[in-house]
Structure 1
Amino acid sequence: MEKNEIAAKFLDFAELECKGSSALYQFLSVKIAGNEELLQLSSYARRGQPIPNLLFGAVHQLLLAGNTHELGHFYPSITGKPKQVEGSFSSFLDFCRTYQKEIIAILQEKLVQTNEVRRCAYLYPLFCYIHKKTGNSLSLVEIGTSAGLQLLWDQYSYSYGGNRSYGNNTSVVHLSSKVRQGSMPELLDSAPPVASRVGVDLHVSDLKDREDALWLKALIWPEHQERLETFDKAVKQFSKSPPSLIEGDGVSMLKELAAQAPSASTLCIFHTHVANQMSRKVKNDLLQKVSAIGRKRDVCHIYNNIEDRKLHLDYVISGVSYAETIGETDGHGGWFDWHVKDCAVQEKRV
């Protein structure tokens, strides 16, 4: 990838992802976009990976691993009294020079596999909506599952701006979010029943492996202490009832995975912030395979980043195909839009 293309990705990352969420990453992204040396370093990233996330994750992992450097004084995840971000770039550049070999190794080896547990806060209303439409238990297939923490959405509790909570109120994991635009979803007090669940990823992150766990923590942005605490709690929940996780290509394996789901259940295929790492051909293949499954059974497909950044729900019930655009979502689950209507916005016979 050309340096000007990489620079554009960092500028987009600063404006679309970091603004209002990470002052450190926003400031550094703009600086990196104008620095030839760091753009060259970033070019070692694996093809198809989100380059800014990968570079920042590599640096963060090395800091969390105990490599002492003045850059750590700007990271809230490293120090309790971080310095102002405006003075961070020279330290960041020096750190990248000092640990260039280690950073390149991470860029070439790792995948961006953020396990953002709070995204479950907008998945919970969707699964409630699907269950109310079908009346069936749900069979879950998550593509790009990473460590599988989102597969356990029914084992967390939720709140949406009020005192009332939903889901599993005995869980150690409580997730709060809010509806930014649209109406408040109709939520079930208890989670819909899950008949089966399986996650698939090119590289399954093993939470019992120190390096894998450290990498997942490194992908959490330095200012986001609440996200880190939630991650640790979700890991504890995971240890109580770990789901089935398979290493492989989720799109290629989709037909096989769908066939294993109980026929009386509603099959729910879902992935968040994964399709941006797929080629156009793979995206089309995924959509075609979901459509083919819908000719044999009821199926729902929850996703974003195929055509746009919005959250979508496509589903087939009794041979009729529907498509709904749910709305924009915060990448870390802090808010979401809910534009679901009582009737589908698009319908066609399969």
Structure 2
Amino acid sequence: MVTPNLASRFKTFGQYECHSSSNLYEFLSYKIAEDEELLVLASEARDGQPVPNLFLGAIHYLLLKGKEHELKEFYPSLVENPRNPQKSFHSFRDFCRLNSQEIEEIVKAKIVQTNEVRRCAYLYPVFAWIFQQTEKPLALIEIGTSAGLQLLWDKYSYSYGTGKTFGNPSANVHLTSEIKGGHVPILPAELPPVASRTGVDLHINDLNNGEDFLWLKSLIWPEHQERRTLFEKAAQCVKANPISLIEGDGVELLPSLIEGIPEEHSICVFHTHVGNQMPAEVKENLLAKIKASGQSQDIFHLYNNIQDRNLHLDYYLDSREYKNLVGQTEGHGKWFTWELN
């Protein structure tokens, strides 16, 4: 069943998320919003999912998997000289009609788990800031970890437009970002030590599994070749650095994950662009669990998309609560602002 606001969700996606980032998805989003048959197909997504990302990802997935159709001629991820996006809709609609059953199965079964490794460019300064406050090795717990790429932020190197390189000097993954505004973080010469890394997700993506790898790749927009390259390099890093990934409800499992972490470690719970998929009661439950844990032990919570799209750092030290705005961030980590003192 098509919900009344599904068409507007596609229009909003095209206008605010795709504009100046994906000409193909911007154009298709507006056209899908006007097509009842395609909206019915897209509406098979489970509750809480960002439907435009999921639906367009499903088509991209089938094309990357090798489905032969003229639609692929419009995808920069599939051909060197793609055709004009403004002429893509007839082919797109035809592809969806021919493959409607497979698309429906994907939309019903899959969830959006974009592992945007460039977001580590703003995570790294925050983790460095936390270590500066506590001088304790970090115990990382990521909710909505997908394949765990962000748990390895200390294995990457970084630059912020100043000519200097920070992070891991021997990294194969190099992330660039821009710090906007007048404030900049203090980036130490040495990386903060990481004591443990645990990721939780309703569905863990195993990068050694070809289907999981392809699905994550299909969620990267067709024009974003640099993102695809970074994803592939970061995937190799995950394979070389095994991490603890647990399939389950991260909010419900959080107390048991925190339990047993020694006092000499700083507990860091974090998640990026996951809160928007949580119902209101789940968000409240998560914040309540963090607060309850903070009454008996120090804990840091780094997140966005709960109250708003900004990046926040709430934490408890000696049972005292602190709430801080880290700054604004571009969705894929291309830039951020810094407000932490």
Measured against the shorter chain, the TM-score band is over 0.9
Counterpart-to-counterpart distance in 1, 2:144 and 2:272: 8
Q: Is the 8 A contact 1:3 1:39 kept in 2?
A: no
The offset of 1:84, in angstroms, is 1.2
Divergent runs of 4+, >2 A: 1-4
Moved more, 247-256 or 17-26: 17-26
Change in 2 beyond 3 A, CA 1:31/1:257? same
- Counterpart of 2:302 in 1: which secondary structure? strand
Residue identity over aligned pairs, in percent, reads 54
Cα displacement (A) at 1:200: 0.5
Task: Quote how far apart the aligned CAs of 1:242 are.
Answer: 1.5
Q: How does 1:13-162 map to 2 (within 5 A)?
A: 13-162=13-162
TM-superposed deviation, 1:236:
1.1
Amino acid at match of 1:338: W
Equivalent residue letter for 2:337: D
1:4 CA drift (Å): 3.0
Three-state SS of the structure 2 residue aligned to 1:251 is: helix
Shift of 1:27: 1.1
Output one character per residue of 1:297-341: Cα deviation in whole Å (capped at 9) or x when no partner.
Answer: 11110111111111111011122211111222111111112122x
Amino acid at match of 2:315: Y
Q: Equivalent residues in 2 for 1:2-21 (5 A)? A: 2-21=2-21
Residue 316 of structure 1 corresponds to: 316
AA matched with 2:339: H
- Quote how far apart the aligned CAs of 1:102 are: 0.5
Runs of at least 5 residues in structure 1 that lack an aligned partner in the other structure: 343-350
Paired AA for residue 171 in structure 2: S
Find the aligned partners of 1:299 and 1:259 in 2 and give their Cα distance. Answer: 12
Say if 1:3 and 1:40, in contact at 8 Å, map to a contact too. no
Which residue pairs with 1:293 in the alignment? 293
How far off is 1:203 after superposition? 0.6
Contact 1:139 1:262 in 2 (8 A): no
5+ unaligned residues in a row in structure 2: which ranges? none
Is the Cα–Cα contact under 8 Å of residues 195 and 262 in structure 1 kept in the other structure? no
Match of 1:348 in 2: none
Matched, 1:167 2:167: yes
User: Matched residues in 1 for 2:337 and 2:91: separation?
Assistant: 39
Deviation at 1:2, TM superposition (A): 4.0
Distance change >3 Å, CA 74–CA 101, structure 1 → 2 = same
Is 2:256 aligned against 1:256?
Answer: yes
Whether the aligned pair in 1 keeps the contact of 2:125 and 2:186 (CA below 8 Å) is yes
Tell me the residue number matched to 2:242: 242
Q: Deviation of residue 182 (structure 1)?
A: 4.1
Measure, in 2, the Cα distance between the counterparts of 1:50 and 1:181. 30
- Taking structure 1 as the reference length, the TM-score comes to 0.95
**Counterpart of 1:66 in structure 2: which amino acid?**
G
Give the aligned partner of residue 194 of structure 2.
194
Provide the rounded CA distance (Å) in 2 between the counterparts of 1:47 and 1:112. Answer: 12
| Separation (CA, whole Å) in 1 of partners of 2:59 and 2:179 | 34
C-alpha distance in structure 2 between counterparts of 1:89 and 1:61, whole Å: 18
Distance in 2 between the 1:261 and 1:317 partners?
A: 15
2:208 and 2:239 in contact (8 A); partners too:
no
Residue 252 of structure 1: SS of its match in structure 2?
helix
Give the match for residue 180 of structure 1: 180
* Conservation of the 8 A alpha-carbon contact between 1:53 and 1:219: yes
